Amino acid sequence: MITHWQREIESLSKLILSLGALVEDQINSSMIALERRDIELAKEVIEKDNEIDTLEIEVEEECLKILALYQPVAKELRFVVAVLKMNNDLERIGDLAANIAKRAKYLSGKPQINLINGFLPIAEKVKVMVKKSLDSLINTDEKLAREVCASDDEVDDMTKEMLKKTIIAVKSYPERTKEYFSIRSIAKNLERIADSATNIAEDVVYLCSGEIIRHQSEEAFPDESVKES
């Protein structure tokens, strides 16, 4: 028989997964808007950020209600604490996706920049990280969560390469400095989305094992644990 407590946890799980699905869609749409120079889609992403903010507040209120009414302990407490932290990271990812959409909207009114194609591998890697982090939560899969953590350095390296290319481009085309700085902004936003996905994965590790792995050395995430989904 399902208890009232279990129903509350199931309700909370559905809420955080709904937020995650919405955030995933925002990332995808922002990158499509950038690639296709789609102003209307970029506007939709920007406007939908308010929906993410509203849902983030709902998740937080649900967490606080559970903590106040049921005073959970052990793994149940870790779950609620982990969701509270994930909630913040997902809202942050939503903000970053909206930032990308704003840059996409601006760039769509400017002459085409070939460097935009260079974002596709970074964006795909980042989207996989976000999806894996949410899947690891759904399945309480510590191994999958650690794979996400191991992927973060790869995104950092890809972003650094893109930033180097923008510096070279600015030197060659100084009259388009503002556009290339928009490119830099998109690269940094993608990098920060990867960081937030890593935070979520670290919270899943905490949920599964009780181990806090933030700020640990890279040795905690060996390269062989990284798999493509």
The CATH number of the domain where 136 resides is what? Answer: 1.20.58.220
Under DSSP, the state recorded for 210 is -
Provide φ and ψ at 22, rounded to 5°. -65, -40
Under DSSP, the state recorded for 110 is S
Q: Is the pLDDT of residue 77 over 50?
A: yes
Residue 207 has a pLDDT of: 86
Residue 215 has a pLDDT of: 62
Q: Which of 36-40, 183-187, 214-218 has the lowest mean pLDDT?
A: 214-218
**Residue 23 and residue 94 in contact, taking contact as beta carbons nearer than 8 Å:** yes
**Residue 133 and residue 204 in contact, taking contact as beta carbons nearer than 8 Å:** yes
pLDDT above 70 coverage of the chain, percent: 93
Q: Which of 16-20, 50-54, 198-202, 225-229 has the lowest mean pLDDT?
A: 225-229
Q: Which residues of 26-37 are buried (b: 16+ CB within 10 A; e: fewer)?
A: bbebbbbbbeeb
- The per-residue pLDDT for range 155-207, each reduced to its tens digit, is 999 999 999 999 999 999 999 999 999 999 999 999 999 999 999 999 999 88
Q: What is the pTM of this model?
A: 0.88
Q: What is the dihedral of CA 159, 142, 70, 55, to 10 degrees?
A: 30
How far, in Å, CA of 84 to CA of 64, rounded?
Answer: 9
**Residue 191: domain span:** 4-225
Q: In total, how many domains does the chain have?
A: 1
Q: Is the pLDDT of residue 53 over 60?
A: yes
- The per-residue pLDDT for range 107-139, each reduced to its tens digit, is 999 999 888 888 889 999 999 999 999 899 888
Residue 223 has a pLDDT of: 42
